[in-house]
Chains A and B, each alone.
Chain A
Amino acid sequence: MHSTSSTIVLVLAVFGASAVEMVEALTIVVAAGVSRGWRSALEGAAAAAAVLGVLVAVVGVPLVRYIPLDALRVVVGALLLVLGLSWLRKAILRSSGHKDLHDEDKIYADTVAELSETDTVSAAPTQARVHSGRDSLAFVVAFKGVFLEGTEVVLIVISLGAAQHRLGLAALAAAAAVVVVGVVGVLVSRQLSEVPENTIKTAVGIMLTSFGIFWVGEGAGVNWPGSDLAIPVLVGFFIVVTVAYTAFMRTKLPAPAPEESTAT
């Protein structure tokens, strides 16, 4: 029997991680679709999503069936911990001003410029790339965008799903996020920069780190008080840590450089 608290955290973590990664993937797909044609861009995105789905089934199902649960939890916990700590670090640096926020508008503009540049630099190869109404460049760009962003999501789905023996639920949460981001993307056109990406990333980082520590402990034989109820406690601890570190890091921002007095 699975406890409600760990199920909720599992669904939230996978949904959030998938949503964050898909915002960037969708930005690239929209850029490819607008500048090169929707059909090939959507085919590229769908092909990448299919490959990612196959990866989850091919890697995840044997993990759940054949690897002893304790060993699986230590490995998966360690993987989630590395991932979670690195997401948290990045999120803290961004919200405290030490790192620039992720800019979807810039990614969109860069991708469109890159694709348009390819057109103007060499018109002949462009003709060669368009076969029977398909644009292979748009297909490849959309495929790469979705595949690269989705790889991390696949790892999270497999890790969280396998360690709790709830691969189906984890995959469903990830797919739901893809649908939600897709629908929102269509509704708001390409204004995906409005999505509070860093906040979602912070929340997911906290959940991955908490799950990671919990499962490393479980797998190694540590008895958590309250069993799965320890997960929300760990989440609470890391929320406090994140808020405190963000406030601390704001005090460490370098003073702005003095304006040059070049009144010549």
Chain B
Amino acid sequence: MTGIVVRGVKAFGKFWWDFLVGDTPELFLATGIIVALAFLIDGERLVGVILLPLVAAAFLLASTVRGRRRAPGR
């Protein structure tokens, strides 16, 4: 019985890990940074409006470049 529960918890944890982090930890990090920034700039209308999408776009570019197809042997 305990074995089943442990396996279930492990599978549940693995599902969320794969889902949220998987092979793109930088996107998970980006989200953490955006949430933190949103609280830090609380109420600062223009800063938030400009900064949050820009941070997301910057991390998206970094992650996309990281996932590019490389020439064989490189």
Contact = CB atoms under 8 A, between A and B. Distances in A.
Interface in A205-264: 209, 212-213, 216-217, 219-225, 230, 234, 237-238, 241, 245, 248-249, 252-255, 257
B11 interface: no
A155 B72 CA distance: 38
A213 B56 contact: yes
Interface of A: 74, 77-79, 81-82, 85-86, 88-89, 92-93, 97-99, 152, 155, 209, 212-213, 216-217, 219-225, 230, 234, 237-238, 241, 245, 248-249, 252-255, 257
Interface of B: 19-20, 22, 24, 27-28, 30-32, 34-35, 38-39, 41-45, 48-49, 52-53, 56-57, 59-61, 63-65, 67-72, 74
Majority SS of interface residues in chain A?
helix
Contacts of B69: 97-99, 253-254
A88 B60 contact: yes
Given A245-B60, A249-B64, A222 B72 contact: no
Contacts of A213: 34, 52-53, 56
A127 B68 CA distance: 47
Contacts of A209: 56, 60
Contacts, number: 113
Contacts of A97: 69
Contacts of A79: 20
Majority SS of interface residues in chain B?
helix
A85 B61 contact: no
Given A220-B35, A254-B70, A89 B52 contact: no
Contact of B52 (A85, A222, A252): A222
A223 B45 contact: yes
A1 B43 CA distance: 23
Contacts of B28: 82
B68 A86 contact: no
Contact of B31 (A81, A237, A257): A81
A82 B20 contact: yes
A221 B49 contact: no
B45 A85 contact: no
A89 to B, nearest CB: 5
Contact of A89 (B24, B44, B74): B24
Contact of A86 (B24, B34, B45): B24
A178 to B, nearest CB: 21
A254 B71 contact: yes
